[in-house]
Amino acid sequence: MTLTVFWIFGVIAMGSALLCITRRNPVVCALWLVVTLFALAAMYVMLDAQFIAALQVLVYAGAIMVLFLFVIMLLNLGRPGPTDIKGPVGLLLAAVLAGTLLFQLRVLGGAQALPPSAIQLPPGSLAAIQARQGIVGAVAGPLFDTYLVPFEIASVLLLAAIVGAVVLAKRKL
């Protein structure tokens, strides 16, 4: 039952991703990408990552995609125009390269590449940690403990991104 629901959301994600890369209008592309992100959030919930799913909806589907739609509409790219999809040669090249990549990923990520059972936690141990520390606490604990330095570096990165975006987008400083 769980597996069926997971595959349903997976098919939604893959189908809307395919529509996202083939639609001509950038606004339509962005909206199909939002559908993909929501399906991914549902899959995160089924993988015991409820807090990540909430963040996915808030940060990705909320903030980042609104930024994309804002820029598309600011530049007035939503109107119908000539297609930006490459011709048959480009299509063939993209299909061949993407097919090769998919084959390689399936070989690398196949059954023999799954983590060995010696280093795997017993099933349900993640849910047990979440029951003990809370869903947010289970993620926040290591974030402010083991991963404190990367966390601070990420804050510096965001600050640099704010300054960089303002400098780049402003006409005259």
Partner 1 sequence: MLLSPALAISAVLFTLGVAGVLLRRNAIVIFMCVELMLNAVNLTFVALAQPLGIGGQVFVFFVMAVAAAEAAVGLAIILAVYRHKQSVGLQNMNLLRD
Site for partner 1 in 101-120 (CB under 8 A): 101-102, 105-106, 109, 111, 114-115, 119-120
Among 66, 73, 80, residue whose Cα is nearest residue 31: 66
Which one of residues 84, 118, 132, 173 is an interface residue with partner 1 (CB under 8 A)? Answer: 84
Question: In the bound complex, what is the minimum distance in angstroms from residue 36's beta carbon to partner 1?
Answer: 7
Q: Look at residues 92, 78, 79, 81 and name the one whose alpha carbon lies nearest to residue 31.
A: 78
136 near partner 1 (CB under 8 A): no
CB of 158 to partner 1, least distance (A): 6
Task: Say how many Å lie between the first and final Cα of the chain, rounded.
Answer: 58
According to CB under 8 A, which one of 1, 59, 79, 89 is a site residue for partner 1?
59
Residues 6 or more apart whose Cβ sits within 8 Å of residue 9? 39, 42, 43, 46
Check binding of 131 to partner 1 (CB under 8 A): no
Q: Does residue number 78 form part of the binding site for partner 1 (CB under 8 A)?
A: no
CA torsion sign, 104 to 32 to 72 to 168? negative
Distance in angstroms (rounded) separating the CA atoms of residues 12 and 1: 17
Residue 54 lies near partner 1 (rule: CB under 8 A): no
Q: How long a stretch of residues is the chain?
A: 173
- Minimum CB–partner distance for residue 14 and partner 1 (Å): 5
d(Cα 13, Cα 40) in Å, to the nearest integer?
A: 7
Minimum separation from the CB atom of position 131 to partner 1 (A): 13
> Please, what is the minimum distance in Å from the beta carbon of residue 84 to partner 1?
4
- Does 35 sit near partner 1 (CB under 8 A)? no
